[in-house]
């Protein structure tokens, strides 16, 4: 029992310490904001890698998340509220919660883990030491492009997920409930506020940064060969997923 | 000039260096010998501050490399070429991109000038025309030599070689030894070579030091090395199984 409590304590301390180190990393990266132009080639590479290549996955997840949201909402409305409000209810859920959170969680799996694996491999094969030895700061050369791309691309991916999510929701409404498109999209429009979309995008911005920073942080601190790289991949996913959900809660409290 | 003073380094409970003292004069070719795992690579990494000592310090041209800020540290590092034991090539880049990276980052040379320099260094290490290959397409010995080409691309003042001839055939090894001597004689480079290739030691060294149990136990010329009555050095140099150094049985 005591050892159990000690373990919780130790893990909490580690979590707090890692969170602190992640902020330090963000600070160090921000110092290179003036060198974005000089690093543009690497940044474009990462925008492609992190953003463009995630589009198929995000479309897939968005479509099905929207469809499921629609089915669930229809079930809850049944007998109480007219299906005419289905579009509104589903789209609000997609904009403020499902779009950003699911996109970020999927990104944490795909992007966070791949950043950690790539940088972790570079760490254990001394490629990061080699950069240092050549008087090139790995923070600028490796972390800046990835973190910047995370901040930029996750919000964009979220917009895509929002869009296909609503399409998925409408697909269900049409196929299962025979809801005409004017009624579905009419109610989406009536309840549409820019604030809802913006709050989702602000969340996505934070989540995107968190995912990329965690990936870089975990990658840089990898130790111990191929096994260590495997561990790092898992750790990056777990840590960023936890931080995404924590931030989701904090941001929801702040924004609403 | 590099001055290493009372350097201590442990990893967890594992003590690797326990008081290394060593001065390297400008223009000198110093060879460091010692058994695998005795801390030779760790010692080299301290010189350019890739690792930080637990105790002791290192002066490079009278500057304490541990104490300087990032800008000065990078300025100092540009004067070093570092050949990693495992070459440490960037595997996302071609050979040419690997070698020219320091030029791209630290100079304003045109693409044509960079290509010319890359070709020149590849020639020097005996690998002309392999610019477009990826590290994954190279043998271990080729990687080593590409790593060397990258290390010398900025024409450094100091070159640190971590086992430059390990994994090379004897002829290529002899060529690299010749290159080490040539760089030091023509460009007045200061060289620190870590090796356990005794042939290489004879060809390269002005002075040999031996690292053993975390300290420098021997320092002398190559000819002294053969006549020494230090039993540890004698056993190592003559590759004898009998002697004071015995493989430690593993503790489980
Ligand atoms: N980053 C590190 N973390 C933990 N132990 C290390 C690290 N680097 C080196 N060591 C240990 O230090 C010792 C010396 O290593 P090294 O300098 O690579 O030996 P060598 O003389 O063969 O180059 C080894 O036992 C190695 O396991
Ligand atoms: Mg070594």
**pLDDT single digits (tens) B38-81:** 999 999 999 999 999 999 999 999 999 998 999 999 999 999 99
User: Residue A84: CB partners within 8 Å, gap ≥ 6?
Assistant: A183, A187
Q: Which comes out higher in pLDDT, residue A71 or A45? A: A45
Ligand 1 centroid to residue B85 C-alpha, Å: 12
Contact indicator for B119, B146 with CB cutoff of 8 Å: no
Give the pLDDT band of residue B168 (cuts 50, 70, 90).
confident
What is the whole-number distance in angstroms between the Cα of residue A149 and the centre of ligand 2? 37
Tell me the HSE value of A58 on the side-chain side, using a 13 A CA sphere: 28
Q: Report the distance separating Cα B43 and Cα B45, nearest Å.
A: 5
Q: Check A134 against B70: CB less than 8 A apart.
A: no
ipTM above 0.95, yes or no: no
Write down the pLDDT at residue B249: 56
Are the C-beta atoms of B150 and B138 separated by less than 8 Å?
A: no
Mean pLDDT (chain B) is 92
**pTM attached to this predicted model:** 0.90
Q: What percent of chain A has pLDDT over 70?
A: 99
CB B145 within 8 A of CB B121: no
Quickly tell me which residue has 């989702």 as its tokens: A200
Q: Chain B, 91-120: which have a CB under 8 Å from a chain A CB? A: 91, 101-102, 105-106
Q: Which ligand is nearest to the CA of A221?
A: 1
Chain A: which residues have CB within 8 Å of chain B? Answer: 122, 125-127, 129-130, 132-137
- Cα torsion angle, B101, B107, B110, B112, sign: negative
Instruction: Give A170 Cα–ligand 1 centroid separation in angstroms.
Output: 61
The dihedral of CA A118, A215, A151, A205: what is its sign? positive
pLDDT at A103: 87
Mean pLDDT value of segment A26-36 = 92
Q: Over the stretch B93-113, which tens digit does the pLDDT of each residue have?
A: 999 999 999 999 999 999 999
Contact in structure between A65 and A24 (CB atoms under 8 Å): no
């Amino acid at each position: 029992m005591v050892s159990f409590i000690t373990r919780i304590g130790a893990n909490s301390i580690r979590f707090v310490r890692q969170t602190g180190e992640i902020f330090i990393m963000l600070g160090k990266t921000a110092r290179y904001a003036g060198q974005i132009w000089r690093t543009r080639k690497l940044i474009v590479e990462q925008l492609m890698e992190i953003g463009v290549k995630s589009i198929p996955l995000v479309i897939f997840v968005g479509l099905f998340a929207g469809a499921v949201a629609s089915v669930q909402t229809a079930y809850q409305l049944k007998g109480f509220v007219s299906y005419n409000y289905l579009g509104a209810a589903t789209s609000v859920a997609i904009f403020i919660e499902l779009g950003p959170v699911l996109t970020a969680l999927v990104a944490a799996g795909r992007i966070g883990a791949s950043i950690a694996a790539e940088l972790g491999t570079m760490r254990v094969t001394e490629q990061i030491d080699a950069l240092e030895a050549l008087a090139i700061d790995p923070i600028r050369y490796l972390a800046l492009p990835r973190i910047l791309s995370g901040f930029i691309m996750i919000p964009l991916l979220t917009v895509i997920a929002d869009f296909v999510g609503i399409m998925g929701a409408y697909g269900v409404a049409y196929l299962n409930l025979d809801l005409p498109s004017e009624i579905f999209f009419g109610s989406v429009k009536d309840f549409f506020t820019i604030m809802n979309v913006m709050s989702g995008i602000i969340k996505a911005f934070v989540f995107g940064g968190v995912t990329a920073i965690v990936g870089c942080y975990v990658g840089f601190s990898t130790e111990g060969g191929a096994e260590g790289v495997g561990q790092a991949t898992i750790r990056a996913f777990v840590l960023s997923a936890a931080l995404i959900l924590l931030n989701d809660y904090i941001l929801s409290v702040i924004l609403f | 000039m590099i001055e290493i003073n009372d350097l201590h380094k442990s990893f967890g409970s594992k003590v690797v260096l326990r008081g290394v003292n060593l001065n390297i004069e400008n223009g000198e070719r110093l060879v460091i010998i010692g058994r695998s795992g005795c801390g030779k690579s760790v010692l080299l990494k301290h010189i350019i501050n890739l690792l930080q000592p637990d105790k002791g310090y290192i002066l490079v041209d009278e500057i304490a490399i541990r104490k300087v800020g990032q800008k000065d540290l990078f300025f100092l590092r540009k004067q070093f070429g570092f050949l990693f034991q495992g070459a440490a090539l960037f595997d996302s880049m071609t050979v040419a991109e690997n070698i020219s990276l320091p030029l791209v980052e630290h100079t304003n040379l045109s693409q044509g000038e960079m290509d010319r320099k890359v070709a020149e260094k590849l020639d020097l290490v005996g690998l002309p025309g392999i610019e477009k290959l990826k590290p994954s397409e190279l043998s271990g010995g080729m990687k080593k030599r590409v790593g060397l080409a990258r290390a010398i691309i900025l024409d450094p003042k100091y070159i640190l070689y971590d086992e430059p001839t390990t994994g090379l055939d004897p002829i290529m090894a002899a060529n690299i030894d010749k290159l080490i001597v040539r760089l030091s004689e023509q460009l007045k480079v200061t060289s620190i070579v870590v090796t356990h290739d005794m042939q290489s030691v004879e060809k390269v060294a002005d002075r040999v030091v031996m690292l053993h149990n975390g300290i420098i136990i021997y320092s002398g010329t190559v000819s002294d090395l053969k006549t020494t009555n230090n039993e540890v050095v004698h056993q190592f140099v003559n590759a004898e199984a009998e002697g004071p150094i015995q493989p430690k049985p593993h503790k489980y």
